[in-house]
């Protein structure tokens, strides 16, 4: 095996801090803009929707209403935790197919008072009656078709969002949940303007929505998706939020609504005569009553002198991003040779994903060797397997994070096969005037989750349990840490990430995208830290994702710019199929440019663009 080319040069400080009004330079690394994905965002002075720089706090989300809600909370003296919860509640109104009371998420927070990073696990849990064969058809012995598993009560995990909001506000907030729900209530009552993204997401789900009575009645008014430019109101959700504001989170888990959720899961409200098979679920009211959203110790690695914090299992985000960064630290990545840098990024991702599939699961139910996966010794052993000039052929086997590390130890065992994980999620970032920073990833899994709306409540239930491995391994195969089980949380790829420099927050980043979340976050970090891009350029740059598969999937602009050179190195590149077709993720991020001065960045084009705002813009 080739020796690892250790980089012993001093760590270069990140370059080109982007200031408001400065032109964002198109680096040689970037491809010309393709119709699906812009390679370079617009100049901030020309259109500030996607990039905002200023003082007093900042936010970036996928939605203008959510961003305005967060900024208003900051303007009135709320902190980053308050603003993140208020924005998430608003996204439950305007982005109901990805963020809802019926889902969950992961929250990372830098507390300026204690100078510590904390994470809150709002991942959904399986009901107590679930076991490793719950998704197996007894007649065939095989997992039920994935599409049937999604649109079913069987796929619905116990929602974690409301308990997570309570945990966030109890630990870090300064405002009551009832007050933070008021902007979302107003928007739900008055309505919001339907944009192309909302219309397209509804249209993509129209067939299955039409088979679920309360979902059809809410999201297909007149029997079809709402027209772009029309006003969409959700009075049911407004009433639910109002009751939640008055009664508090315990009402959600122990009150009448808990029984309504269970009834929807166990007796899906299918339209009479519908041909669709919608299987009942296993949830009981006691499953909701037992739910908790625990604080978890974040993952932490150092990279080029920076501290990178992420979400620990049951998310694989922090462990896989962290392992890949540890591997890459054994090499020099330079903007002078972007092709080689991208080759190394893809190969490090391949190795880290092999270990993710073999070892990551719910740590309350399986043993996860997290400290060894994030050790520098294990990273050196894995880095030795990378040929600086040639891609590894096909999937690679996982390593052995056992603490006994030898130079270039070959990996043994079989490579894991691909798993289903929906790309339909959302992410937001917030910073406040006191230096607190939040990175929050929220989801109900697929666009539209399970497709089951709780009657009269105005929100969809998740299909997160399809993130489990649906088919148990064959006898004699390696154990799978991500099998369903009672009370278990399915593995996730959500990766809310905070980067500290000299002990202070510098970057916050995250994205939707299912298992591509990890590679998108990793690529943005490499773009910013190693390849000399400012944050808007790093976030908008064309993407590729290697998840230990034979092919590397990429956006059109990436293939156009790098396809020939990377193919010559043995990479098999193919267009990312989506949805949305040709687009990987819809990231948001922020950067502390200097004390008090923050730049918030959202996608310029992906998923029809996002929204970045600050309290007091820099002029």
d(CA 383, CA 409): 10
Contact 271, 211 (CB under 8 A): yes
Contact 348, 303 (CB under 8 A): no
d(CA 468, CA 491): 7
d(CA 583, CA 609): 12
d(CA 265, CA 267): 6
> Residue 579: is the preceding peptide bond cis (ω within 30°)?
yes
> 156, 454, 137: which is closest to 282 by C-alpha?
156
Contact 80, 57 (CB under 8 A): yes
d(CA 459, CA 553): 33
Beta bridge partners of 295: 120
Token digits of residue 549: 């598969």
Contact 360, 323 (CB under 8 A): no
Instruction: Give the SS3 label for residue 522.
Output: helix
Full 3-state SS string of 120-137: EEECCECCCCCCCCCCEC
d(CA 307, CA 411): 28
Count of CB atoms within 10 A of residue 516's CB?
23
User: Positive or negative, the Cα torsion across 189, 191, 192, 197?
Assistant: positive
Radius of gyration of the chain (CA): 23
- Residue 43 phi/psi, 5° resolution? -60, 140
Count of CB atoms within 10 A of residue 3's CB?
9
Count how many Cα atoms sit within 13 Å of the Cα of residue 158 in the half-sphere of its side chain.
30
Which active-site residues does the annotation give? Answer: 425
- Residue 598 phi/psi, 5° resolution? -125, 140
Token digits of residue 615: 């309290």
How much helix, strand and coil, in percent to the nearest 5, is found in the chain? 35, 20, 50
Instruction: Give the SS3 label for residue 614.
Output: strand
């Amino acid at each position: 095996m080739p020796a690892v080319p250790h980089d012993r040069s001093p760590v270069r400080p990140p370059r080109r801090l982007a200031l408001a009004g400065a032109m964002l330079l198109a680096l040689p690394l970037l491809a010309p803009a393709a119709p699906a994905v812009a390679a370079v965002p617009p100049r901030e002075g020309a259109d500030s929707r996607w990039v905002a720089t200023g003082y007093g706090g900042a936010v970036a989300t996928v939605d203008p209403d959510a961003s305005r809600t967060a900024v208003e909370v900051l303007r009135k003296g709320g902190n980053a935790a308050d603003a993140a919860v208020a924005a998430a509640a608003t996204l439950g109104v305007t982005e109901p197919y990805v963020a809802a009371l019926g889902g969950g998420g992961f929250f990372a927070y830098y507390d300026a008072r204690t100078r510590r990073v904390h994470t809150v696990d709002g991942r959904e849990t399986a009901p107590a009656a679930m076991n490793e064969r719950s998704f197996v058809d007894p007649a065939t012995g095989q997992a039920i078709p994935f599409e049937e598993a999604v649109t079913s009560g069987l796929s619905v995990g116990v929602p974690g969002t409301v308990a997570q909001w309570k945990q966030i506000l109890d630990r870090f907030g300064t405002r009551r949940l009832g007050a933070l729900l008021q902007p979302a209530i107003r928007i739900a009552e008055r309505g919001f303007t339907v944009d192309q993204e909302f219309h397209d997401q509804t249209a993509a789900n129209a067939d299955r929505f039409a088979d679920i009575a309360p979902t059809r009645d809410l999201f297909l008014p007149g029997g079809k998706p709402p027209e772009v430019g029309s006003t969409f109101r959700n009075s049911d959700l407004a009433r639910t939020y109002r009751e939640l504001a008055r009664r508090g989170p315990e009402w959600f888990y122990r009150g009448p609504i808990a029984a309504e959720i269970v009834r929807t899961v166990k007796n899906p409200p299918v339209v009479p005569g519908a041909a669709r098979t919608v299987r009942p679920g296993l949830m009981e009211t006691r499953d909701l009553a037992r739910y908790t959203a625990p604080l978890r110790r974040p993952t932490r690695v150092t990279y080029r002198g920076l501290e990178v914090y992420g979400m620990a299992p049951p998310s694989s985000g922090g462990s896989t991003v962290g392992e890949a960064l540890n591997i890459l630290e054994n090499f020099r990545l330079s903007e002078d040779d972007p092709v080689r840098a991208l080759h190394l990024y893809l190969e490090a991702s391949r190795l880290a994903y092999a270990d993710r599939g073999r070892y990551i699961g719910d740590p309350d139910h399986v043993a996860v060797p997290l400290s060894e996966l994030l050790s520098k010794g294990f990273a050196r052993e894995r880095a030795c397997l990378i040929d600086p000039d040639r891609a590894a052929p096909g999937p690679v086997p996982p390593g052995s994070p056992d603490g006994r590390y030898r130079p270039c130890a070959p990996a043994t065992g079989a490579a894991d096969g691909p798993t289903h994980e929906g790309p339909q999620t959302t992410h937001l970032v917030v910073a406040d005037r006191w230096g607190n920073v939040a990175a929050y990833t929220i989801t109900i899994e697929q666009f539209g989750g399970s497709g089951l709306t709780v009657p009269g409540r105005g929100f969809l239930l998740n299909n997160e349990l399809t993130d489990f491995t649906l088919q148990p391994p064959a006898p004699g195969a390696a154990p799978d840490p991500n099998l369903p089980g009672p009370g278990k949380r399915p593995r996730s790829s959500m990766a809310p990430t905070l980067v500290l420099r000299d002990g202070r927050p510098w970057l916050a980043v995250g994205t939707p995208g299912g298992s591509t979340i990890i590679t998108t976050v990793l690529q943005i970090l490499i773009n910013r830290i190693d390849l000399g891009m400012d944050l808007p350029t790093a976030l908008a740059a064309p993407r590729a994702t290697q998840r230990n598969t034979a092919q590397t999937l990429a956006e059109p602009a990436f293939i156009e710019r790098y396809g020939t050179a990377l193919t010559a190195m043995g990479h098999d590149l193919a267009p990312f199929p989506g949805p949305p077709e040709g687009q990987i993720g819809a990231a948001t991020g922020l950067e502390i440019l200097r004390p008090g001065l923050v730049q918030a960045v959202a996608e310029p084009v992906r998923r029809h663009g996002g929204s970045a705002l600050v309290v007091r813009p820099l002029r």
